[in-house]
Structure 1
């Protein structure tokens, strides 16, 4: 009989070996990652895991090389809590590196990580799968934001296709709001996504293996859920579960389908909005969600009775393949 992924398979921390908690890095989300990483490190160590901090991918490579010749310094697996790309750990580069080095890691693999870091391509996959997502326009460098806004119709959001944590996100309610977005676009060398603004409630659904956690309805005190509301403010309200009955089942099923369609496995978070006319609309996937005091996956897990150290343990367990009885059992010391 299979073990539910909300129940620990192991009780002995030695089964994990020596664990690098990878945080920080050089992406625009460095500070959030450091905050998340410190929390994860403390939680794992509190459960007896031989965990240590590593700041950034080059330092991790050095640690793996050092461990190859010194068993006492061996890196047996990586808890990846880097955020973003270009030095972050969510764009597939880190995953490909660790695959090549045969070091297990938390979160989705190369495909899911690379795809979901690109919001535009993720939405294209969802559309091909018949999953709902707001209308959008892809903006290459130098694109005319005013013309794009007219083609979609205001209000819209403008955001980098390959960033996270609300970095570089602009809420455009009228023509006057386009100036700030245009100024940002002029100095940004990547693609931008312009997306129709969903008029309705905002939700997020954490994913843990094959389980969609209870949804969370997000109610910021301000006009929208920006960087300040996510990581600084203490007046943002989080209602969990965000829905009831059939609607709660529907949003969890949709989030899990979106996660899988994007090639993801392991753990993550799917952001969803509920349009007043169109219903649920998929916004994006986060493959290394925040683990700060304001973060959402820990809030949803707590609703199921999973405290923060137990959540970190369950995420780390996913780096150990589940073996069937025919394969000789799970091995190690398990619950």
Structure 2
């Protein structure tokens, strides 16, 4: 982590980009930009879809707040470019970012570290999707391996849906994942900090209309309920926070991230779904809600994340 000097630094808030989550990224970035400026930070918006990253050095920027989502934003590519520019940036580094966006590789690492995650199969055709449905059971989740915000995701409840579900996911990314569906409570846990100083914020329980926490219900409706305090027994919430910290450290994360977890209704066993290394910062986003519950305002959260900006290697 590099020391942050409010008086001398010029901060680029990277937003927009070229991924399927561009619209959400623009909302996140606008919120972060306004918050940082309200604190007196010399922050400026910077859209990598419209400007070459080399301009960051030419224009005297000293660090970046990454508010990009999805591919070419939280997959290690932008992080690698900023490493070459010698510029500190928010969130996990190159390796952790590239691992976390790949849901299959994330699962392999978590499973190797003894962390619980739903069973899965990689598929390359509608026929393989139908075979996975027979193995994993009904319902089953079909999703692209490298997308966020539930884009390209289908909850399959009949074998006849497999072909369309595979096509939808494959149109988003050429690697498709079929995943065992866990029926129960959906929760999310934000983590701030690095190493031994990392801490989990209060757990948020998500109650979406008909259990459908899709792209629209995440960002564009007011029908989803976000419960914080989450209403889980204290011991269960604490155990899930510890699980999120283990998942975060397992992938080598730093700065901040958010883990998504499902709790099996019958056994109360929590299962890790994925880890987001550039969490949303929109009006509907979950990390600001958790931070508020912990007594951290939105502007304070943005500043804390900015102050944690770092690089994998010091040049």
TM-score by length of 1: 0.86
CA distance in 2, matches of 1:127, 1:113: 18
Structure 2 counterpart of 1:78, from 64, 68, 71: 64
Cα distance change of structure 1 residues 97 and 59 upon mapping to structure 2, 3 Å threshold: same
Which deviates more from structure 2 when the two are superposed, residues 273-282 or residues 308-317? Answer: 273-282
* Partner in structure 2 of residue 117 of structure 1: 101
CA distance in 2, matches of 1:104, 1:235: 38
Are 1:280 and 2:273 counterparts? no
Alignment of 1:80-119 (within 5 A): 80-85=66-71, 88-119=72-103
Cα distance change of structure 1 residues 143 and 112 upon mapping to structure 2, 3 Å threshold: farther
CA contact (8 A) 2:68 2:278 kept: yes
Structure 1 counterpart of 2:281, from 291, 294, 301: 291
CA contact (8 A) 2:200 2:244 kept: yes
Q: Secondary structure at the match of 1:25?
A: coil
Cα distance change of structure 1 residues 120 and 230 upon mapping to structure 2, 3 Å threshold: same
Cα distance change of structure 1 residues 19 and 297 upon mapping to structure 2, 3 Å threshold: same
* Partner in structure 1 of residue 40 of structure 2: 48
Alpha-carbon shift at residue 59 of structure 1 (Å): 1.9
Structure 1 counterpart of 2:200, from 212, 222, 247: 212
* Partner in structure 2 of residue 241 of structure 1: 229
Are 1:318 and 2:308 counterparts? yes
TM-score by length of 2: 0.91
CA RMSD of aligned residues (A): 1.8
Structure 1 counterpart of 2:255, from 266, 279, 302: 266
Structure 1 counterpart of 2:13, from 18, 21, 27: 21
Render the CA deviation track for 1:234-263: whole Å, top value 9, x for unaligned.
Answer: 021111132242111100000010011012
CA distance in 1, matches of 2:50, 2:216: 30
Cα distance change of structure 1 residues 276 and 244 upon mapping to structure 2, 3 Å threshold: closer
Which residues of structure 2 form unaligned runs of 5+?
Answer: none
CA contact (8 A) 2:144 2:170 kept: no
Which deviates more from structure 2 when the two are superposed, residues 261-270 or residues 183-192? Answer: 183-192
Please list every run of at least 4 consecutive aligned residues from structure 1 whose deviation after the TM superposition is greater than 6 angstroms: none
Which deviates more from structure 2 when the two are superposed, residues 170-179 or residues 201-210? Answer: 170-179
CA distance in 2, matches of 1:191, 1:141: 10
* Partner in structure 2 of residue 333 of structure 1: none
CA distance in 1, matches of 2:174, 2:136: 21
CA distance in 2, matches of 1:294, 1:98: 29
